[in-house]
Amino acid sequence: MIKRYERQVMKDLWSDQKKYDTFLQVELAASYAWMKKGLISMDVYEKLSKATYQISDIEKIEREVKHDVIAFTKAVALSLSDEKKWFHYALTSTDVVDTAQSLILKEASQIILEDLDQFMGVIKSLSERYKKTPCIGRTHGIHAEVTSFGLKFALWYEDLKRLKKGFIEAADEVSLIKMSGAVGTYAGSHPDIQKIAAKYLGLKESMIATQTLQRDRHAKYMLQIALIGSELEKIAVEIRHLSRTEVGEVREYFNPNQKGSSAMPHKKNPISSENITGLSRVLRGYALTAFENIPLWHERDISHSSAERIILSDGTTLIDYMLNRYQDTLKQLEVDTIQMDRNIGYTQGVVFAQGVMNHVIQNGLDRSTAYDIIQSLAMSALKTRSSFREFLLGEDQLKPYLKASELDVIFNPETYLKHVDAIYQNVFKD
């Protein structure tokens, strides 16, 4: 991952140092299991547990042997004596690689879950702050009816609850050991070795495998990451639209020394939201690649390996970056409630048309007639940029069913937020 889009915690997690440290952790788990099975003595295991390596040795050997795990085992063997014959005993390379990858993904998932919780905390706080703040709702990009600005955040919070649940499930499914040998039969080992090593490493067991863990698990994991990214994009697109000059209801924070354009000094652009939009596209691409990794040849091939070296590290790193960057953006979001009020009135009151229609129906006018009259008056108000309220009061057909005092209630934005509390109780009941 390029430096611009990574935090140090993920950079460290996906470093070569961490990878080889985790390889060694897996190798020693297998050695421990063999000690428990009685193949090697406690003394031999203790000597193996003191094994070390130098990355420079691994790199040098790999240039010769063209195999990273063999290079790793040979580099480790340089730190051992006679006990080295038991290092990597009865393991195939993928036993080490897939299990180590599971351990690293388990750590990555914990970081992402912490990010999600923090992000959801910001979303919840904003939903509470703007719970009863009226703004215009838009359908098809057109002014529809009054809603609450806080409801936008409440909706996103509910989305994130689902996505968190899905991510936890997917993370659990990639947190497992694979130590069943070259084609998954334990031919050179024993099922107890995997069982003991799984407990040692804090991983679940794979019930059956080939030489590899099956990649539908990893595809599901990457899909969940892409879904979280797409939710962030969903939020970002809304912020971008509301930031448009013609709308002007929100703005990303712009510090005094920040510049928006090299050509236009007046520009303040929603660059963080646009950044999130772009990066979410990358995550969806990674998810597609993960799906392509599912059908491997026979008991395995390595067509998935090169792709996973990129998508797993970059995917987890990107979503970590995105969640952290965008929560900071939303914390500092500038909300213009005065402009929200202006926008509610931008269409001369026609956004209250349904409220008027429902009211006159309740007072005895049939629905078809009510709809046609109110639609005609609304279109006239829009066309002439005149007061919809005045058109309503001047319409003789409506006078038996509508009073001016009743319009005061219908044209009050707060009338449309009367059930917001009930919605919030549903969303935040846990």
The identity of residue 107, as a single letter, is E
Q: What's the length of the chain?
A: 430
By three-state DSSP, how is residue 204 classified? strand
Catalytic-labelled residue, pool 140, 266, 298, 419: 140
What does the pLDDT average to over 275-299? 96
Asked if residue 262 has pLDDT above 80, the reply is no
pLDDT in the model for residue 154: 98
DSSP string, 139-165: ETTEEEEEEEHHHHHHHHHHHHHHHHH
- Sign of the four-CA dihedral 60, 65, 71, 74: negative
Closest to 301 in 3D by CA, of 68, 94, 95: 94
Catalytic-labelled residue, pool 15, 41, 67, 261: 261
Task: For residue 159, count other CB atoms closer than 10 A to its CB.
Answer: 18
Asked if residue 365 has pLDDT above 90, the reply is yes
The percentage of the chain sitting over the pLDDT mark of 90, rounded to a whole number, equals 95
pLDDT in the model for residue 266: 84
What does the pLDDT average to over 135-162? 98
pLDDT in the model for residue 265: 82
φ/ψ of residue 232, rounded to 5: -60, -40
pLDDT in the model for residue 267: 80
Q: Distance (Å, rounded) from C-alpha 299 to C-alpha 293?
A: 14
Q: Tens of pLDDT along 297-350?
A: 999 999 999 999 999 999 999 999 999 999 999 999 999 999 999 999 999 999
E strand or H helix at 333 = none
Q: Going by C-beta distance under 8 Å and a sequence separation of 6 or more, which residues neighbour residue 269?
A: 260, 261
The percentage of the chain sitting over the pLDDT mark of 70, rounded to a whole number, equals 100
Name the residue with higher pLDDT: 267 or 190: 190
**Band of residue 256 on the pLDDT scale cut at 50, 70, 90:** confident
pLDDT in the model for residue 171: 98
Asked if residue 148 has pLDDT above 90, the reply is yes
**Band of residue 234 on the pLDDT scale cut at 50, 70, 90:** very high
**Band of residue 258 on the pLDDT scale cut at 50, 70, 90:** confident
Buried-state track 13-45, b at ≥16 Cβ within 10 A, e below 16 = bbeeebbbebbbebbbbbbbbbbbeebbeeebb
Burial of 242 (0-12, 13-18, 19+ CB in 10 A): buried
What does the pLDDT average to over 151-161? 98
DSSP string, 4-22: GG--HHHHHHTSHHHHHHH
The residue written with tokens 């500038």 in the block is 334
Task: For residue 9, count other CB atoms closer than 10 A to its CB.
Answer: 15
φ/ψ of residue 205, rounded to 5: -90, 145
What does the pLDDT average to over 209-218? 96
By three-state DSSP, how is residue 267 classified? coil
Closest to 288 in 3D by CA, of 226, 234, 340: 226
pLDDT in the model for residue 429: 87
Annotation marks residue 140 as catalytic: yes
**Band of residue 69 on the pLDDT scale cut at 50, 70, 90:** very high
Q: Tens of pLDDT along 76-87?
A: 999 999 999 999
pLDDT in the model for residue 216: 96
pLDDT in the model for residue 268: 86
By three-state DSSP, how is residue 136 classified? strand
Pairing of strands 142-148, 134-139: antiparallel
Asked if residue 261 has pLDDT above 80, the reply is no
pLDDT in the model for residue 263: 83
> Mean pLDDT in the chain?
96
Domains of the chain: 3-341 (1.20.200.10), 350-410 (1.10.40.30)
Give the count of alpha carbons within 13 A of 308, CB side only: 22
Asked if residue 430 has pLDDT above 90, the reply is no
pLDDT in the model for residue 259: 83
Contact 329/347 with Cβ under 8 angstroms? no
What does the pLDDT average to over 151-157? 98
Q: Tens of pLDDT along 373-384?
A: 999 999 999 999
Contact 167/115 with Cβ under 8 angstroms? no
Contact 189/197 with Cβ under 8 angstroms? no
CA 217 from centroid of its chain's CA atoms: 17
Contact 340/134 with Cβ under 8 angstroms? yes
Q: Going by C-beta distance under 8 Å and a sequence separation of 6 or more, which residues neighbour residue 334?
A: 250, 251, 252, 253
